Structure 1
Amino acid sequence: MKVRADYTCPLELVHDMIKGKWKPIILWRLRLGATSLAKLEQDIEGITQKMLLEHLKELIEYGFVDKRTYLGYPLHVEYFLTENMGKQILEALRIMQHIGIEYLKKSGKEQELIAKNVIPD
């Protein structure tokens, strides 16, 4: 993804960096720690490996995510949040998660949140 040269404000830039259906979900999953591509694909319901790889590549380019490659066979790669931007963006995602939870509760979907282990029973 290309970064535009002109922005109205820095928020517009960050929005472009993490926009899309999957990037915030990938970042949110990585809050749990470093993990393999296969585990990310398994944990994020509905994402294809192609889309996951594309988004991981962009998140790495922007500095939110990094990867560690272990030698050997089979090759093992782990993806993780970077200390600076990766962990900082979690503050914004936590707020967004909280807003989503509150909205769903008010909409009568608390049982769905409990069933998905988003909130405790």
Structure 2
Amino acid sequence: MKYDLTRWEPHGYSCPVEAAVDVVGGKWKSVILYQLSKERRRFNELRRLIPGVTQRMLTLQLRELERDGIIHREVYKQVPPKVEYYLTPFGETLIPIIELMFKWGYDHTDKIAEARIQAEKE
């Protein structure tokens, strides 16, 4: 993997990895993206699928993902109001990364738990 960083426009980032982490980093963004990679979701559906996320934090994370062009918020003009979130074509470019993160987490959860138990003993 070789990239010519002399041709890269940093836009305030010191490294391309920093740019990627800025978009998907944070406790909930990658989980939100995982859920949206499967299908369109409504706000309360996301809250149910992501235990522990507060309404405020979910709202903030969704707004940031929307601001960055990763997701779209579709508001349907009906009563009662209906709002759905889904990945934009730009956001869909993150699916392979999210799938790799899912696989890594699935394969290594035991090792993470063991390392943390060991660290607490020391």
User: Which TM-score applies when normalising by structure 1?
Assistant: 0.79
1:8 aligns with 2:32: no
Question: 2:99 is matched by which residue type in structure 1?
Answer: R
Q: Report the Cα distance in structure 2 between the residues aligned to 1:57 and 1:63, rounded to whole angstroms.
A: 10
Which ranges of 4 or more aligned residues in structure 1 deviate by more than 3 Å?
Answer: 105-109
Structure 1 residue 105 displacement after superposition = 5.4
Stretches of structure 2 lacking an aligned partner (at least 5 in a row): 1-9, 115-122
Pick the aligned partner of 2:57 from 46, 51, 54: 51
Q: Report the Cα distance in structure 1 between the residues aligned to 2:112 and 2:81, rounded to whole angstroms.
A: 46
Q: Report the Cα distance in structure 2 between the residues aligned to 1:69 and 1:107, rounded to whole angstroms.
A: 40
Q: Report the Cα distance in structure 2 between the residues aligned to 1:107 and 1:33, rounded to whole angstroms.
A: 29
Question: How many percent of aligned residue pairs carry the same amino acid?
Answer: 32
Structure 1 residue 108 displacement after superposition = 8.9
Q: How many residues align?
A: 105
More helix by share: 2
Q: 2:104 maps to what in 1?
A: 99
Stretches of structure 1 lacking an aligned partner (at least 5 in a row): 110-121
Deviation string 1:71-117 (CA, Å, 9 cap, x unpaired) is 1211100000111x2111111111111111111356799xxxxxxxx
Q: Report the Cα distance in structure 1 between the residues aligned to 2:11 and 2:88, rounded to whole angstroms.
A: 24
Bigger Rg, which one? 2
Residue 94 of structure 1: SS of its match in structure 2? helix
The two structures, once aligned, show a CA RMSD in angstroms of 2.0
User: Which TM-score applies when normalising by structure 2?
Assistant: 0.78
